Structure 1
Amino acid sequence: MNDKLEPIEAAKLFINKHFPDCDGALLAGSVVRGQHTKTSDLDIVVFDKKLPTSYRESLIDFGWYIEVFAHNLISYKTFFQSDYQRARPSMPRMVAEGVILKDKGVLASIKLEAKQLLDKGPEAWSLKTIDMKRYFITDALDDLIGCTNRAEALFIANALAMDVSEFVLRTNQQWIGASKWVVRALQQYDQAFTDQFVEAFDSFYKTGNKDKIIELIDGVLKPYGGRLFEGFALGKD
């Protein structure tokens, strides 16, 4: 990235060019966390009371791919609430972590709101939800165990990885993630478990051996009653 401006310098120039009258702006994402790569972009959150609604836009400027998340001083709350309900706090995390590029006195309260939401954690799953998730994980695991088609088994394993990571995190009232944030969320919760999780699926992808995945999932489900099939019902009075 030697041919680019430094992230904060580029972000400030971008704000001065495109949002000179905004009420506040933050630089967030991987460049702030020190996790950026040569393909990373700049995530910039803008707050402007004159905007009629929130929007997202992708641009290229000052040598960077830039993702803009623009909000007025009320519309961001809808995204905070949506992220809370789906247990993926993308917007609150960007705001809480974000480095201030510009502020007319609005960001302290918004950052505090984001931090409080993150600290609160997602809503706890009900026993009914836990049982439903156990059932679907059991069903997928049975599919994997019995599968003799390598191509199909790859996609069953992919689905299991997502379902099991969600189960572990949500039953421990942790935020979940998508894509690279699946592993990051697991690491934030329990590094030792994450290592076991990655090893189990990596072993399967490399060798086709399912034993470590089966052992992992049985260990995850055991505190909640283990695999669930007989007696499970959905939609029945």
Structure 2
Amino acid sequence: MGDTKKLKPIEAAKQFINKHFPDCQGAVLAGSVVRGEATDTSDLDIVVFVERLKSAYRESLIDFGWAIEVFVHNLSSYKHFFNLDYKNAKPSMQRMILEGIILKDEGIIDSIKEEAKEILENGPERWTEEIIMTKRYYITDVLDDFIGSKNRAEEIFIANSLAELIQEFVLRTNGRWIGSSKWVIRALRHYDVKFTEEFVEAFDTFYKTGEKSKVVLLSEMVLEPYGGRLFEGFSLGKEKL
């Protein structure tokens, strides 16, 4: 069991590092408490760099009155996660490092922050025309299921899939990072506040009333600049003769 007294976030994080990682090369506090977005259920996200660590790991603890998520790396392992996040277009590790408040530093943090900054500013790898075509087909397929469904339970989960596909399509075709969970809306707002409002309103209307028209119009609006819906003529994996 950890300590039950809840300290201020930075003080708790510093004491956590002193207690559990006194010999680390560096550590940063990231997450909602750093961004000023903490809620009653927020935890402390701490990235720690340990020189002789064999492999990276993640651990959840409770200490100093806080739920703490600790991400422990050496000076090679974080690069692997940077690369994974880049390929997934979800730069969570880069954001944590760049926004992080330094808790301890033996001369390594600034260069890692610069790496994170460069990746974030350059954006994700651009989608090819083939990927865009494939995503158009997937959206068309799910949209048709959504329009044709008469089963309320199924409609809800089809709508969930459609929302995921649309947000990904909009952000990736515009060279933007995507996100998961709450980061979906944050990523959309960072790209275009007006579109985000339309996106939320369309799906909110459907979930509340069952009315599909706004979702359908939104989907078609997103696809239109890239050729609209796609079904006939789509092929994937067929060998050319």
What TM-score bracket applies, with the shorter chain setting the length?
A: over 0.9
2:75 partner letter: L
1:133 partner letter: K
Deviation at 1:53, TM superposition (A): 1.0
Match for residue 95 of structure 2? 93
2:24 to 19, 22, 31: 22
Superposed CA offset, 1:19-53 (max 9, x none)? 00100000000000011100000000001111111
SS at match of 2:127: coil
Match for residue 61 of structure 1? 63
Match for residue 183 of structure 1? 185
User: Runs ≥4 in structure 1, deviation > 2 angstroms?
Assistant: none
Deviation at 1:127, TM superposition (A): 0.4
Q: Could you list the runs of 5+ residues in structure 1 that have no partner in the other structure?
A: none
Q: TM-score, length-normalised on structure 1? A: 0.98
Question: Which range moved further: 218-227 or 3-12?
Answer: 3-12
User: CA separation in 2, counterparts of 1:206 and 1:112?
Assistant: 45
User: CA separation in 1, counterparts of 2:53 and 2:185?
Assistant: 35
Match for residue 220 of structure 2? 218
Match for residue 160 of structure 1? 162
User: CA separation in 1, counterparts of 2:120 and 2:51?
Assistant: 24
Deviation at 1:117, TM superposition (A): 0.5
SS at match of 1:37: coil
Superposed CA offset, 1:41-70 (max 9, x none)? 000000111111110000000000000000
Superposed CA offset, 1:116-147 (max 9, x none)? 01011000000000000000000000000000
Alignment of 1:89-168 (within 5 A): 89-168=91-170
User: CA separation in 2, counterparts of 1:127 and 1:73?
Assistant: 36
Match for residue 202 of structure 1? 204
When the two chains are superposed, the root-mean-square deviation of aligned CA atoms in Å is 0.6
1:50 partner letter: R
Deviation at 1:86, TM superposition (A): 0.6
User: CA separation in 2, counterparts of 1:118 and 1:49?
Assistant: 25
Deviation at 1:4, TM superposition (A): 2.3
Q: TM-score, length-normalised on structure 2? A: 0.97
**How many matched pairs?**
235
1:231 partner letter: G
SS at match of 1:114: helix
1:23 partner letter: Q
